[in-house]
Chains A and B, each alone.
Chain A
Amino acid sequence: EAQVTQNPRYLITVTGKKLTVTCSQNMNHEYMSWYRQDPGLGLRQIYYSMNVEVTDKGDVPEGYKVSRKEKRNFPLILESPSPNQTSLYFCASGSSSYEQYFGPGTRLTVT
């Protein structure tokens, strides 16, 4: 089954404790991206990757890191999480940036 998977689905953590949210796709897509969704703000792009070893900033990259060492994986790293990073996070992939397949989401709470 073609899919984008994210782990964990739910995470409660404390300020400053480094965490990684994994994202994997099995559709051989070159393009992958991370978004955060907050009430009333829609989806905001954090980082995207056009191919292996190629990453670039979206609209809200501060406080986040990504890497793309393999085509199928695109982890999101929060080196020192803060409460304002409490959000619903989505990973997506696609053969193009305009048609993306989204993962199920990761609900992160930082206390």
Chain B
Amino acid sequence: GQSLEQPSEVTAVEGAIVQINCTYQTSGFYGLSWYQQHDGGAPTFLSYNALDGLEETGRFSSFLSRSDSYGYLLLQELQMKDSASYFCAVKTGGGKLIFGQGTELSVKP
């Protein structure tokens, strides 16, 4: 089967740094994406890693280790508006994208 594992909930305080991990077992792998979703609204794309290493986009960074089938999303200088659900997703081939079950991040003042 195919599976992506990520923590269901994470809590952090404003201004802190938080890391959301994602491990995957899929039949194919072309890259790992991250999406943010506020309260059942439209998911929005954050980042994509096809190669090992760290990608930085402002306060958000994403990391991938293909040999470990592992990646993470790092959020720095947390703000209240970062409270949302975060999904990792694996591009397995063609047009297929498999999502994890999501991590609900709560940012406290």
- Chain A interface (Cβ within 8 Å of chain B)? 4, 31, 33, 35, 37, 40-45, 48-50, 56, 58-59, 88, 90, 97-105
Q: Let me know if B66 is at the binding interface, CB within 8 A.
A: no
- Chain B interface (Cβ within 8 Å of chain A)? 30-31, 33, 40-45, 48, 50, 87, 89, 91, 94-102
Contacts of A49 in B (CB 8 A): 95
Query: Smallest CB-CB separation from A48: which chain B residue?
Result: B95
Q: Is the Cβ of A43 less than 8 Å from the Cβ of B94?
A: no
> CA separation between A90 and B99, bound complex, in Å?
13
Query: Smallest CB-CB separation from A55: which chain B residue?
Result: B95
Q: Which of these, B40, B97, B101, B102, contacts A97 with CB under 8 Å?
A: B97
**B30, B44, B95 — most chain A CB neighbours (10 Å):** B95
Closest Cβ of chain B: how far from A53's Cβ, in Å?
14
**A35, A59, A103 — most chain B CB neighbours (10 Å):** A59
Q: Which of these, B30, B50, B98, B100, contacts A59 with CB under 8 Å?
A: B98
Q: Is the Cβ of A105 less than 8 Å from the Cβ of B48?
A: no
Contacts of A98 in B (CB 8 A): 30-31, 33, 48, 50, 89, 91, 97
> CA separation between A58 and B99, bound complex, in Å?
12
> CA separation between A100 and B89, bound complex, in Å?
11
**Besides A35-B99, A102-B42, 7 new A-B residue pairs in contact (Cβ under 8 A), listed by A number:** A37-B40, A48-B94, A90-B42, A97-B91, A97-B97, A100-B97, A102-B43
